[in-house]
Amino acid sequence: MRHRALQTALAFVTLVSTRAVAQDIRSEPVEIREGTARFDASTNLPAIRIHGKSEGLEGRARIRKNPDGLVIERLEATLPVRTLKTGMELRDEHMRKYVFTTPDGRLRDVRFVAERATCPGAVGAHTCKVSGNLFIRDVPRPFTIVLKVSDDGISLRAAGEGIVRLSTYDIAPPSQLGVKTKDDVKLQMDFVVDRVQEQIARETR
Amino acid sequence: MISSRAVALSVTLLSLLAATPRQALALPTMVRLGYSECSACHYSPQGGGPLNLYGRGIDQAQSYRGGEYIPATSNLARILTIGGRTTQELRTVIQEQASVVTGGSVQTRLWPRLAYRNATEIGRGLRVAATITAEGATAIRPTLSYAPLSRAPSVFVNTALLHYRPTKTLEFAAGRDQLPSGVNVPDLGLWTKSRNRLGYYDAPSQLKMFWTGRHVHVAPFAYMPGSNEDSDDGEKGAGTVAEVVVGQDHAVLGMTVVNATAALGDRQMMGGHARLGFGSWGIVAEHDFTKRTQVSAARASFSQSTSYGQLFWAPDDFLVISGIAERLHVEQPFEERLVAGKLEIAARLASQATLGISARIERDQIRRRYSASLMLQAALKTVP
């Protein structure tokens, strides 16, 4: 009797773990490429808004499809701060110095980490509310970005925006010659997501 | 190791030595950095005149010298600025031009100008502004029977305005100035300017308003003769410049309408313009169509169209290289068909000094005649 019970328990555990492994296999690793990040900061003067752009956004995640849509897991994206440009050298220096440099003088890249997001939607088009932590100066703060994802069967293209509140990072809005940026900065991202195997295949072709 | 900036500066200076000139300071090109309106850097929402504090910072940052602008804080500076209320500067622009027409000899002209520019905050949203220019020579301008140009005195009051700004986005101005216009390039010799009464000595008395929304700029105006026109040519009228801003402040599309009457003829003008910036390069363009009626003793009616296009590239903050095309068509009985192309390099060496060089070629399509010119321009100014 005890032997049968043990067999049943083992069978159950095996079944559960097999399902879990199968599910994990279905989620595939992807890499972010052609990533563009833009920011738009308004100021105390209506005539002046500060814009910046980087084409250095990169990252990785795992994705899988289920009947309800797309699931994104273990998303990790990095924006190298040195690639972020406003179009004017001095303004770039100010931005790096006043926004991205830690109190001990180190320049830290911006990172976004999210554990899981579900993206309901029809085949080929999904909307994802991705919530995670945005690291600025290595300080994590909750951040949510709403992404619109389109799937052409080969790669995914995602675009969306969120608001970064500087004061939550204890960053004083930069001020220069009477012009002061506002606390809320709009952050926009646009990137292509490639399945890693397809990327390897493309690179070895 | 020679930096790319040093190489760029060397190329510019060699070009200046090897050839000659142009009318630089094409500041609508600032749209490439997302500055979609003049009031970002100038006191006047129309542009021109002294730079505001932030504008002086940008001016220095955009120069070869670069670095931070630090306002003077000495006792003398406090006196000269009346405790920070006044911004005043002296500015000299020296142009040396060599030109030649098919079959003709080379003509040279030196045109030095010295301007005093002032903007003074009175308080409660009130501000006065003035620009007075001493001319070293008269600007060469065509004489048109239907639009005799304003007299060119040796001392000219370009601007004398009282501004009132009740809110951050609304401003009124009354006095004497250039009328609001499309792309607002500072070269007033362009056909889009000189043929639409926006030349060097066109400064009518006027009342204008500037409303600056997030995505819309509107500047309606009404005007009457200034004091330097011929009595028959004193024009009165009204118009509006309206713009929409799209593409994260990197694209401005606008139109201008003017309806005016004068003893020498009436005119109705409609134009469209665009300022587009794409990071280090961009496009500035304008096309205007003017219908003139009841012109001169013959009471003739005819149309005129002017076009301007500028493709610019800023390989560095301080250096702007432009290719410019112009076109002028005037119908009979005053028929003219002109096209022109120009290559221009403008280098801001420091906030006090800008050098420009340009080469221009023009074709008269009716007389089948070419003219070419080279121009060197140096602009020097004091910086408070």
Q: 3-state DSSP call for residue B109?
A: strand
Average pLDDT, chain B: 87
- CA A100 to chain B, closest CA, distance in angstroms equals 20
Tokens standing for B307?
């076009």
**Residue-level pLDDT at A20:** 42
Question: Domain of B55?
Answer: 24-379
- Ordered mean pLDDT values, 10 residues apiece, chain A (205 residues): 57 46 62 88 90 92 83 91 91 92 92 90 82 94 91 83 93 90 93 70 56
Q: 3-state DSSP call for residue A171?
A: coil
- Asked if A88 and B40 come within 8 Å (Cβ–Cβ), the reply is no
Q: 3-state DSSP call for residue B32?
A: helix
Picking from B134-148, B151-165, B168-182, B188-202, which range would have the lowest pLDDT averaged per residue? B134-148
Q: For a pLDDT cut of 70, what percent of chain B falls above it?
A: 89
- Asked if B249 and A176 come within 8 Å (Cβ–Cβ), the reply is no
- Asked if B317 and A176 come within 8 Å (Cβ–Cβ), the reply is no
Q: What is the end-to-end Cα distance of chain A in Å, rounded? A: 59
Of B224, B218, B205, B187, nearest to B340 by C-alpha is: B187
Indicate if the pLDDT at residue B353 is higher than 70: yes
Is domain A26-203 classified as CATH 3.30.300.30? no
Q: Which amino acid is at A132?
A: G
Would residue B13 count as lying in a domain? no
Would residue B51 count as lying in a domain? yes
- CA B270 to chain A, closest CA, distance in angstroms equals 26
Would residue B61 count as lying in a domain? yes
Consecutive H or E run containing B353: strand B353-364
B109 within 8 A of B97, measured Cβ to Cβ: yes
Residues of chain B with Cβ-Cβ distance to A179 below 8 Å are 54
Chain A residues with CB under 8 Å of a chain B CB are: 38, 40, 45-51, 53, 86-91, 176-179
* Look-up of token digits 């504090």: B53
- Asked if A89 and B37 come within 8 Å (Cβ–Cβ), the reply is no
- pLDDT band per the 50, 70, 90 thresholds, residue B25: very low
Mean pLDDT across B114-121:
95
Would residue B5 count as lying in a domain? no
Residues of chain A with Cβ-Cβ distance to B52 below 8 Å are 178
| Rounded Cα gap, residues B275 and B37, in angstroms | 10
The pLDDT tens digits for B297-306 are 677 889 999 9
Number of structural domains chain B divides into: 1
Residue B214 contacts A, CB cutoff 8 Å = yes
In this structure, the number of other CB atoms found within 10 A of the CB of residue B209 comes to 18
Would residue B175 count as lying in a domain? yes
- CATH number of the domain to which B161 belongs: 2.40.160.10
Would residue B14 count as lying in a domain? no
Would residue B18 count as lying in a domain? no
Residue of A nearest to B38 (CA): A47
**Residue-level pLDDT at B381:** 93
Q: Check whether the bond before B225 is cis (ω within 30° of 0).
A: no
Would residue B247 count as lying in a domain? yes
Integer angstrom CA distances of residue A135 from A54, A76, A186, B353: 17, 11, 16, 43
Residues of chain B with Cβ-Cβ distance to A48 below 8 Å are 35, 40, 54
